[in-house]
Amino acid sequence: MTTLTPAVTTAVDAVREHFTGKPVEVTPDGAGGAFVIVNDIEVGPSYTPSTTWLGFQISAAYPSADVYPHYTGRLTRTDGKPHGQAIQQVDWQNRPALQLSRRSHGWRAGIDNAALKAEKVITWLVTQ
C-alpha cells in the first residue's frame, strides 16, 4: 500500500499548516501511514546546531495511536552536558539522529494530534 489513510492525510495536512513556511517531507510507510520530516526547526542556543529537522511516523492506526517517538538531527549541548535519559543516538530513515522518547500517556484520539504532539516535543527539547 502506498496511499495514506484519510486520517493520516488529515494529520499530514495539519502538520503542514502548523509548520507553515517550513519544508515538510512525507514518505508513505507502505501500510497507510507516513514518515514525516519537518525541516528548519529552531532548537535555540542550547544546542549545536541551533536548527535541525524533526521526524516521526504517523501510523495507519492514527488517530487511535500516539505519534511516538520523535527524532531530530544529531545535536550537541552547548553546555557540554550529556543528553538526558529520554534522548539517545540512533539512525532513523537512513539519517544519524537523536531519538526523543516522549510517549503521551492518555493520548486522546480526536483531541490530541500529530502537529500538537510535534510542537510539545520541540518545546520539551528546547527546555532540556
Q: Which of 92, 86, 56, 61 is nearest to 74 (CA)?
A: 92
pLDDT at 51: 98
Sheet of strand 34-42: strand arrangement: 24-28, 34-42, 51-58, 70-73, 95-100, 87-92
Q: What is the mean pLDDT of residues 68-93?
A: 95
pLDDT at 27: 97
pLDDT in tens, 25-56: 999 999 999 999 999 999 999 999 999 999 99
pLDDT above 60 (res 4)? yes
- Residue 56's DSSP bridge partners are 36, 70
Q: What is the mean pLDDT of residues 3-16?
A: 96
Q: What is the mean pLDDT of residues 81-100?
A: 94
**Which grid coordinates belong to 126?**
528546547
Q: Which of 121, 114, 112 is nearest to 13 (CA)?
A: 114
Looking only at Cα atoms, what is the longest distance across the chain? 45
In degrees to the nearest 10, what's the CA dihedral of 104, 106, 107, 110? -150
Q: Of the ranges 4-8, 14-18, 85-89, 111-115, which one carries the lowest mean pLDDT score?
A: 111-115
Rounded CA-CA distance 9/36 in Å is: 11
Helix (H, G, I), strand (E, B) or coil at 127: coil
pLDDT at 114: 93
Q: What is the mean pLDDT of residues 88-104?
A: 92
pLDDT at 84: 86
pLDDT at 128: 86
pLDDT above 60 (res 57)? yes
pLDDT at 105: 65
